[in-house]
């Protein structure tokens, strides 16, 4: 889980009574301390493209003396590009997240089919390529891209993506992008955008790469070509080695980050039929027994998604949640210590419903807890949701749970293909800041587990500082309390694939597991399993 998007673990004091899912008379909550990214607050859809102009031509000649000369028609912009530009602009100006903004815009405007696909590719493709596009814009504009007005720069990036990486005619890429700027930002800036995009259109992507990487060192060349900050490139190279892979496979990981992620559904066992969903809308995933890759349509077109018996969830997230349910453990309550937004909680709840157990889900804010409640609305008899600091909740409820999942806030370096903007926001300092929180949460999870209980520590990052280092330190500090399990072998049992496909480094007599986007087609999820003695 990424910390910006999903977790703020500043200690907060919350009422820990179970949340009433049926309450309709709730007063507006105090949003102070809510760590949500700022959303698009326009509730009436995208800005109007301009006033509607009716054809005033009659059957006779115009009376120009009476009506005066016709005024020029205001510029109009097509809707897919407008929506994509609005998301890119808000990502820049408001630190918004595209995966939270774009679906709402598509739903409000009822954009579907090829138009929705175009808006989606323009948004995510542009965000993935920012490093390269900014280097090109700097040359084409004759000034650093960083000095250009952010909304204008967002339009230039979007235009560059169309010109260099999409099958869009040059004239359409330029004129339609300029139209967005004129209609929705600043008509005077349209000329600047037009000039820059026309210069970009004069060369191919390969020719521009040669230009912007001339006379730079190999690291900077890789940074530009793959649109990854240098510190992330170094971190991923170190992660490969730490988890037992060859550093020479780095380029494959970076390229996988820049490939569009398939939309994956998690079909909750006992609530919906995976084979039926796959027959109607997609293809069964190769690893998760719950997953379906959506081949056509939108997720909300699927009845099970609308009903809450299936949801959008990366295959890797499904796998680590399922892994917690496989080792033997006593009967009793399960705990999801960092539950928001609730995807893994839903998987745990569906499995627990079949075994007669129940799940307690905890997250720090009311907003995050609301998301968990929505994700588990089809499991309200099994899942209870609390708003509380996981570190306090775990220690206050010592030895009360048979299975504990702690999906800690992290840098999100394993999910860059789905959250491409994160690569431009994170810094090495963030990793260091999150370290103490990760250790405290794992310690709380160990405390909450009863003897014989199983703990799963997961992150959506392969960074060794957030994964192996945390587990090694806690396994050593808690050596009298826990024993490490073979997480790779458990994933092998879940997937039916060899354990070596998932194996990471050995830790304290056990073995961790690491998923990779280039190898498994999932987010880069890390998993460690341990048992309370």
Active-site residue numbers?
460
DSSP sequence for 252-292:
HHHHHHTSPPPPEEEE-TTTS-HHHHHHHHEEE-SS-TTEE
Among candidate residues 246, 208, 415, 238, the one with its CA nearest the CA of residue 315? 415
DSSP sequence for 83-147:
HHHHHHHHHHHH---HHHHHHHHHHHHT--HHHHHHHHHHHHHHHHTHHHHHHHHHHHHTS-GGG
DSSP bridge partners of 449: 401
Let me know: does 41 contact 414? Beta carbons within 8 Å: no
The rounded distance, in Å, linking the Cα atoms of 186 and 152 is 9
The rounded distance, in Å, linking the Cα atoms of 170 and 174 is 6
User: What is the crossing angle of helices 150-165 and 189-201, to 10°?
Assistant: 30
Sign of CA dihedral 213, 215, 218, 220: negative
Torsion, CA 223, CA 198, CA 92, CA 142, rounded to 10:
70
**At which residue do the structure tokens 């048979």 appear?**
402
Q: Does residue 324 sit in helix, strand or coil? A: helix
Largest CA distance in the chain: 96
Q: Supply 102's token pair.
A: 């774009």
**At which residue do the structure tokens 């006379």 appear?**
215
Instruction: Give the 3-state DSSP-derived string for 336-401, with helices as H, strands as E and coil as C.
Output: ECCCCCCHHHHHHHHHHHHHCCCEEEEECCHHHHHHHHHHCHHHCCCEEEEECCHHHHHHHCCCCE
């Amino acid at each position: 889980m990424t910390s910006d998007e999903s977790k703020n673990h500043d200690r907060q004091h919350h009422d820990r009574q179970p949340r009433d899912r049926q309450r309709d008379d709730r007063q507006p909550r105090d949003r102070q301390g809510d760590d949500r990214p700022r959303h698009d607050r326009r509730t009436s859809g995208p800005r109007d493209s301009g006033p509607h102009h009716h054809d005033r031509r009659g059957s006779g000649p115009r009376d120009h003396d009476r009506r005066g000369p016709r005024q020029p028609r205001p510029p109009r912009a097509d809707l897919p590009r407008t929506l994509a530009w609005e998301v890119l602009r808000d990502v820049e100006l408001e630190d918004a997240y595209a995966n939270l903004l774009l679906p709402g815009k598509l739903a409000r405007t009822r954009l579907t089919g090829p138009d929705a696909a175009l808006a989606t590719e323009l948004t995510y493709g542009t965000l993935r390529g920012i490093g390269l596009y900014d280097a090109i814009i700097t040359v084409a504009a004759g000034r650093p891209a960083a000095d250009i007005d952010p909304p204008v720069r967002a339009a230039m990036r979007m235009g560059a993506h169309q010109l260099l990486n999409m099958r869009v005619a040059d004239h359409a890429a330029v004129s339609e992008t300029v139209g967005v700027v004129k209609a929705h930002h600043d008509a005077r800036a349209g000329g600047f955008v037009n000039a820059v995009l026309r210069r970009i259109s004069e060369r191919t992507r390969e020719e521009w790469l040669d230009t912007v990487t001339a006379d730079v060192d190999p690291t900077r060349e890789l940074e530009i070509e793959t649109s990854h900050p240098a510190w992330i490139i170094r971190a991923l190279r170190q992660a490969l080695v730490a988890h037992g892979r060859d550093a020479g496979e780095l380029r494959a990981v970076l390229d996988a980050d820049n490939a569009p992620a398939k939309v994956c559904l998690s079909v909750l066992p006992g609530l919906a039929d995976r084979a039926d969903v796959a027959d109607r809308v997609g293809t069964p995933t190769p690893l998760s027994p719950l997953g379906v890759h959506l081949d056509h349509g939108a997720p909300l077109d699927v009845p099970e998604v609308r009903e809450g018996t299936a949801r959008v969830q990366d295959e890797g997230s499904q796998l680590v949640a399922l892994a917690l349910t496989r080792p033997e453990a006593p009967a009793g309550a399960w705990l999801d210590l960092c539950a928001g937004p609730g995807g893994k909680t839903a998987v745990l709840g569906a499995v627990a419903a079949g075994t007669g157990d129940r799940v307690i889900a905890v997250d720090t804010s009311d907003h995050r807890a609301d998301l968990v409640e929505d994700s588990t609305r089809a499991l309200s008899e099994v899942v209870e949701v609390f708003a509380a600091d996981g570190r306090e909740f775990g220690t206050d409820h010592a030895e009360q749970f048979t299975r504990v999942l702690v999906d800690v806030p992290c840098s999100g370096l394993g999910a860059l293909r789905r959250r491409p903007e994160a690569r431009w926001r994170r810094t090495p300092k963030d990793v260091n800041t999150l370290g103490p929180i990760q250790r405290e949460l794992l310690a709380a999870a160990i405390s909450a587990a009863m003897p014989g209980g199983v703990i799963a520590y997961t992150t959506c990052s392969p960074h060794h500082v957030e994964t192996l280092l945390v587990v090694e330190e806690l396994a050593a500090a808690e050596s009298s309390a826990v024993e490490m399990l073979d997480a790779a072998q458990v994933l092998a049992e879940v997937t039916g694939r060899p354990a070596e496909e998932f194996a990471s480094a050995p830790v304290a007599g056990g073995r961790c597991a690491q998923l990779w986007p280039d190898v498994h087609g999932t987010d880069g999820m890390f998993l460690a399993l341990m048992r309370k003695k």
